[in-house]
Amino acid sequence: MKTITQFDAVSLQPNSGASGEYAGLLAIRRYHDSLGEGHRNICLIPASAHGTNPASAAVAGLKIVVVGTDKNGNINVEELKAKAEQHSKNLSSIMVTYPSTHGVFEENIKEITDIIHSHGGQVYMDGANMNAQVLLTSPSTIGADVCHLNLHKTFCIPHGGGGPGVGPICVKSHLSKFLPGHYEFAKNDQTNWGLSSAPYGSAGIIAISWMYIKMLGTDLRKSTQVAILNANYMMERLKNHYKILYIGTKGRVAHEFIIDMREIKKQSGITEEDVAKRLSDYGFHSPTMSFPVPGTLMIEPTESEDKYFIYLLLRGELDRFCDALIQIREEIREVEEGKADKTDNVLKNAPHTQEVVVSSDWKHSYSREKAAFPLPYIAKRGKFWPSVGRVNNVYGDLNLVCTCPPVSDYI
């Protein structure tokens, strides 16, 4: 971890990325306390930062000041300067995600970290997107003081894998004695404090990540390159069908990118949720919806998605996902042109369960085949059937809904 981040000390104790954020911010707070600057309680958080950042800052007792972004998705440097100056005496830190959740590498990242340091603040780098950095650059290189690493994501276990996480924090030397500790190795160091009941956090996950790093060695760089290549390949395939919200000055994205559904919604009434649900009919789980920008879909393929199934002679995951989104765009166009009903169409009714498709009571204006097998590969490689149809997400968010049988059923 020290080699990869170019930092000086590590704590393996935090059990998740969010726990790592909390630990890192507490290390910063304790550092400022040691300097007699415990009054520093302002945390600047860019609008492009990772979603857990403001929550972690609040739990750490910090006051959050949001910094906006420019039209290209980068942090607004002039606004950052103004707010750093305004809160100079009380500035604790900035939480910055690099590359940002907008899917771009902040071109002014070193200037940003210099601004924070010039006002006595510390730079917390969120490691959520570290899979676009490993062995190409490092948190230390860009000027950060502390970062967490999602071992369960960047180092082996793919997105959606579930199970326990682990989010160790890495720091520069001036923060090392403020890392979380444990009674087993605290000794006489009064600055040690505990974060987890286990001295090394989720030790089982750490072992998996260690094996991944050990076996790949310097090929970790290739993982990073492929993650960025995959995202840019997909962006290139999709950019003529959907608006890509943020693209860097060189026409490239980082390891993820955002497709903007807002104009499509105005023209057709089809929303990002409709697209997300329709993807289930194509055999895909939806990418991140309406974060970090409402009305969008954020796509992050990582290095683990393939382009070609050589043994099965099938198109790989990247192309099949792009094929699905391109076909969905054609389905949206049918609604825009009046060829499909605005309310009774494959998108508004998605996903289609097996029970619905085989039912003798089929009243839709489109065929069962179009609902369940919109592309040839779906039948070829085996159909994934969604277990439930469309649910009312808002109702579920606002009301406790019990799906278990009543107690009387067990009598």
Rounded CA gap, 411 and 396, in Å? 29
State in Å, rounded, how far the first CA of the chain is from the last one: 55
What average pLDDT does this structure show over 393-405? 83
Which residue did the predictor score with more confidence, 352 or 206?
Answer: 352
Question: CA 402 from chain center: how many Å?
Answer: 29
- Residue 129: closest CA among 54, 214, 209, 50: 50
Contact 21/53 with Cβ under 8 angstroms? yes
> Which segment of 13-22, 107-116, 143-152, 299-308 scores lowest on mean pLDDT?
299-308
Check residue 245 and give its pLDDT: 94
Per-residue tokens: 152: 């369960």
Burial letters 266-281, b for 16+ CB under 10 A, else e: eebbbbbbbbbbbbbb
Check residue 391 and give its pLDDT: 85
Rounded CA gap, 212 and 130, in Å? 15
Q: How far is CA 147 from CA 6, 18, 129, 168, 282, in A?
A: 11, 11, 11, 8, 38
**Sign of the torsion formed by the C-alpha atoms of 67, 291, 73 and 159:** positive
Binning pLDDT at 50, 70 and 90, where does residue 186 land?
Answer: low
Contact 182/155 with Cβ under 8 angstroms? no
Q: How far is CA 218 from CA 3, 114, 168, in A?
A: 11, 30, 21
DSSP tally for the chain: helices H, then strands E? 16, 15
- Residue 229: closest CA among 260, 253, 259, 258: 253
- Please report, as a single letter, which amino acid is at residue 74: N
**For 158, which DSSP code?**
P
Is pLDDT at 222 greater than 90 in this prediction?
Answer: yes
Residue 265, Cβ neighbours under 10 Å: how many?
17
Check residue 195 and give its pLDDT: 83
What average pLDDT does this structure show over 64-91? 95
Is pLDDT at 93 greater than 90 in this prediction?
Answer: yes
Per-residue pLDDT tens digits for 279-314: 999 999 999 998 889 999 999 998 888 887 555 556
What average pLDDT does this structure show over 22-48? 95
**For 284, which DSSP code?**
-
Per-residue tokens: 298: 């954020």
**What domains, with CATH codes, occur in the chain?**
2-216 (3.40.640.10), 261-394 (3.90.1150)
Is the N-terminal amide bond of 351 cis, ω within 30° of 0? yes
Binning pLDDT at 50, 70 and 90, where does residue 379 land?
Answer: confident
Rounded CA gap, 212 and 342, in Å? 49
- Residue 102: closest CA among 298, 330, 241: 298
Check residue 411 and give its pLDDT: 77
Per-residue pLDDT tens digits for 157-182: 655 455 677 899 999 999 998 998 87
Per-residue pLDDT tens digits for 189-216: 545 678 888 888 888 888 888 999 999 9
Check residue 311 and give its pLDDT: 52
Residue 393, Cβ neighbours under 10 Å: how many?
11
Check residue 286 and give its pLDDT: 92
What average pLDDT does this structure show over 263-285? 96
